Structure 1
């Protein structure tokens, strides 16, 4: 066997090992999701008695029973609440963060470095630190049992998104702003027609992260929403579990599977912008 053949065998062996390891790790990461989808088609006895990912029979009635919930309120109500909360809060967080980021990156004002440092510190501040003071404030102004405490704070900007967009805006040449000023544009027009279209990758990245965080949010709705008709999907899934009686596990898994659909669709549609938004490489000629 000559050297060239040995080299080809070595390269193919390395490729085989690499792909085998990647497939194995991918299966390990996807196993919890596959397990949940599989259990959504099983009976309660089969869930705890059969560890196979292939159900013995497809029980579509689990989805029907889960969607009906308690007949008075269907799961469609919870999906509407989650979509409303997620979409409005995401819009407020992304748009306000873009405006604040433009101010930090382009507008010189007194104390800019100090306020930027304060914003940066909020990235390291756990939500549990501000949870109690915020609840007291929102309770005193009568916002409890509404979506306002969950949505309004996001219209003040999100520290992580501001930091991300500031880095992206700084990569945009100032010559574009100066050219727009010569053409008679003021700062709002420069932001709207010059800067905003050029930071689309970072905007979409912020949309993806915000959508995921708000859709999966459990603690926020748990604190501020007490009426079942206002509950989001995350709270509704918790209501399926009843410690005082038998828990309908197939219905939980079926609705949990449906709750993944919006998240998966958002990822599939915008996945190409994730790396592009996180790695700021500047303007390419």
Structure 2
């Protein structure tokens, strides 16, 4: 057509676009610039404290308090202090024990509750779902008296029931209630025709759960497990209240002792500990990135 109608091609060349979107007006361009400036400012606000934390952790010129200066001398003394003068390794073990236990318990129970609420119709289903939803509106800290009472009862029956185990029950209980809705919604998007086809082939309900539903729901289960694992790393309030011995602290509660008491004040070591704490979480996000993206993006029928 260009060879036969060259004039027509030149005349309409400027009106051809790769999409249906019209070119930005002056007002649209100004809005786009403002949006980019806001995003850049927000990124700076987030990145600047992280940058200062990394620099302070490796700066040998920092003493007990963080000082934002231009003098820098690379040193690992703050990390050495963290491993030799504090109970950092014990805090890491405690946090990993609580986090892994919480994630496993959450995944075990949520996989059953999400499947049951999605595929079965039973008496009290709607009322129990509503009760779970309403319970989520109550702050966890509001039940601190009940937690102490529960720990006293359970420790009297089970001598080896520690406060760390109580924390695991608190974390996993809250995660099970919240994530039941998430997994139920995800399983609802899976066609029941898969269940019917499996039943025709002779599969029981447990086989459908194990061979059909759980493999399809794996991306969402990975997300639930990841957030359940991260929760104890991020929480400070409950470990600080429930755990009384420094050797039983989690990372959040333990590192706080480096900034709240002048006798143990070492803010650069606190920065070093925060940097080390972030490393396993970042590695988990990177290793599970594919599962996370598919879990958030896929909700369609599979199989």
Which consecutive residues of structure 1, in runs of 5 or more, have no partner in the other structure? none
Which consecutive residues of structure 2, in runs of 5 or more, have no partner in the other structure? 1-12, 15-22
Residue of structure 2 in register with 1:228 after alignment: 246
Rounded Cα–Cα distance in structure 2 between residues aligned with 1:37 and 1:281: 39
Against the structure 1 CA distance between its residues 223 and 15, is the aligned structure 2 distance closer, same or farther, given a 3 Å change threshold?
Answer: closer
SS of 1:141's equivalent?
helix
Residue of structure 1 in register with 2:58 after alignment: 41
SS of 1:236's equivalent?
helix
Of the three residues 148, 171, 176, the one matched with 2:165 is: 148
Equivalent residues of 1:145, 1:227 under 8 A apart: no
Against the structure 1 CA distance between its residues 211 and 151, is the aligned structure 2 distance closer, same or farther, given a 3 Å change threshold?
Answer: same
* Superposed displacement of residue 226, structure 1: 2.2
Normalization by structure 1: what TM-score?
A: 0.84
Deviations 1:209-251 (A, max 9, x none): 2122121122222233223322211121022235343611211
Rounded Cα–Cα distance in structure 1 between residues aligned with 2:35 and 2:132: 42
SS of 1:44's equivalent?
coil
The answer to which of 10-19 and 214-223 deviates more is 10-19
| Equivalence map 1:165-176=2 (5 Å) | 165-176=183-194
Structure with higher Rg: it is 2
Residue of structure 1 in register with 2:119 after alignment: 106
* Superposed displacement of residue 280, structure 1: 5.2
Normalization by structure 2: what TM-score?
A: 0.79
Rounded Cα–Cα distance in structure 2 between residues aligned with 1:264 and 1:177: 37
Asked if 1:80 corresponds to 2:96, the answer is no
Equivalent residues of 2:53, 2:271 under 8 A apart: yes
Rounded Cα–Cα distance in structure 2 between residues aligned with 1:107 and 1:141: 33
| Equivalence map 1:144-223=2 (5 Å) | 145-153=162-170, 158-223=176-241
* Superposed displacement of residue 171, structure 1: 0.6
Residue of structure 1 in register with 2:48 after alignment: 31
The answer to which of 267-276 and 99-108 deviates more is 267-276
The alignment's C-alpha RMSD in Å is 3.0
**Count of residues in Structure 1 that have an aligned counterpart in Structure 2:** 275
